[in-house]
Structure 1
Amino acid sequence: MIEPSEKAQALIADLQAFIAQEIKPIEAREQLDWGRPHPRALLADIWRRACERGFYNAMLPEALGGRGLSVVDLCALKEAALLTGSPLAPHVLGELSGPPRIGHLFKVASDDQAERFLRPVCQAERAVCFAVTEAEAGSDVSALQTSARREGDCYVLNGTKRYISGAPYADIAVLIARVEGSRGGDGITAFFVDLHGEGVSVETDYQVMSGPGSHGDIVLRDARVPVANRIGEEGQGFKLAMGRITLNRLLHCATMLGMAGLALNLSLDHARTRMQFGKPIAMFQAINHMLADMATELYAARSMMFATAALNDQGGDIKVQASMSKLFCSETAFRIADRAVQVHGGAGLIQGHPVEWLFRATRMMRILTGTSEIQRNTIAKGLLMPAR
């Protein structure tokens, strides 16, 4: 198995200690539960604490105040955060609202935009979300219909973005819209949008499988966005939206496998302590076989993820392998979570129990950043039409 660097291993140890000593006591005090909404003020406090300790920006390049980690290291760090068993662990790394979402934008944003939008996010002063998906534009980004009409020094935006993760507690959206009169990928343009501005609202009248409080719709009704907030030139938004999709698919695998690893660890603990017929259920072969299958499949998925990450670090093209990893890891993580519910029995069905939430959360992962079917399309295309 490919191992993270010594620098990453030291960072992981510090992260684990920080979560154990500072974050978990907060979760206990506030009685935070899995899959329940977390107050915005509490999240802001977590972001600030994590930023002060250097975890919030850890996934950025060194030039931007991060740790300069390899992709292998990033996968190991993200997986380790989930394995702590803390519901707030992703927030410690800024995964849902912070620097990992905007680090790549420093290459395309103006100096003014970096100062007004990007640096406040990196300093945990403002939260950000990425808004692409619409009711009729999911896998087919080119079909989006949110419009941007140029009027002097502003664009007037109209439309609705759906299922946007982090929207309920974000201050800024990196939002993709189509300049009026354009078609297909042409004219798709990216903007920094102030979610507290006039004509902009965030609606959260639904909840996704992983629970309420973390997803919402961004509704734009004649929202005036300054031209100075446009990211790059008109028509570059499609490239910006899709530019990191390959790497993001791979990095999502670390989240999925962190969830799967946590499900396995919880199942092992439960099997050792749950008594039936006078002995721990770990003594029953049916339970043994489920645990063995969970561990075996997790090992295979982790091997694929780290091999792909190492290939990327070596400069290789991972477009096909990243889709293979996302497909295999998402399907595997869900199977492991499903068995974890089975091992836990009735306890695993109770809302608020970690494995019940992991079952729902891993099921979502087969949809996010490209469905399993989209991954298969990408893989098949890569096999049938190899690069020359």
Structure 2
Amino acid sequence: MTVITVPLSDRSYDIVIEDGVLARAGDYLGPIARGRRMVIVADAQVPMHLATLRTSLTASGIASEAIEIPAGEGSKSWATLELLLDSLLALGVERGDHIVALGGGVIGDLVGFAASILKRGCGFVQVPTTLLAQVDSSVGGKTGINTRAGKNLVGAFHQPALVLIDPTTLDTLPPREVRAGYAEVVKYGLIDDPDFFAWCESNGTVLLLGDPLARAHAIARSVSAKARIVGADERETTGTRALLNLGHTFGHALEAEAGFDGSLLHGEGVAAGMALAFAFSAEQGLCRAEDADRVARHLRDAGLPDGIAAAGITASGETLVGHMLHDKKREGGTLPFLLARGIGQTYLDRSVDLQQVATFLDRCPR
């Protein structure tokens, strides 16, 4: 078992990483439930995990109710949020209660946002069941939904009270979903940990095949990195936390063009976006072409898209930049980009010319 703390003063919380912790969740949730019933909001695709969790709660003397949400990015919507809030209110959820989010990043983002606004703020617990959620979205308190204008444009910072990560839940995950989550693992190496990126190059294949030691190491290393960054800059006020968005400006534009219909998963968009960020950095003379090639090669070896063509997108650079203009990080008419001076040397650049970006994207293979 590994326990990592997100250091946020009186709002600090633990991330527990342990094989089989889902079956022992009641031991951890008992002090949070305080004798109250717990409502679980679960991805409809994880009925076996929901059954395990509810059995554990029952064994610990905790009553529970369950609300199932359809899988997929389409559930991060106003319509689903309204239905969820109405269901939680109908169940009599009180401000002091904690809602449990069981599933991937979609469920965590949706439930966290619902908890942030229900009765002006309820508690919630993250129990992520996908690799992407375990290494990234379940930690840090970013919650939200998508709109017609773009991804995660409506949301709030709302930290969970606890995160329970059971790596064995990944055994039931489709390989494509595991690969998509792996993109976020690679990201931590590219941000500021070149040794971890080298570890990924050597161990990524066995990790993707389900090796428990490689998987546990990658999750713990990723979560530790994110906890450190979130603790230093919870709300992206200093620019440190913005480093976690590597690949996301390009990636969200690709996702928006794909229509959030599942044809391009979030992690796949991030992978393509990271490759594009390094390729653009190399074109601008910021990093060596060899670094960009190394990143793209590893993503390809992991079965992830390494650019626009591999992501299945044919839109023009101008169209993709148009999607970027809806990015929530835009400020004062400028859009910050995460670029790189090398592997493990990501930095925030607020002076990027969007016309240069559009021209660069037009030159990328389709």
TM-score by length of 1: 0.26
Greater gyration radius: 1
TM-score by length of 2: 0.28
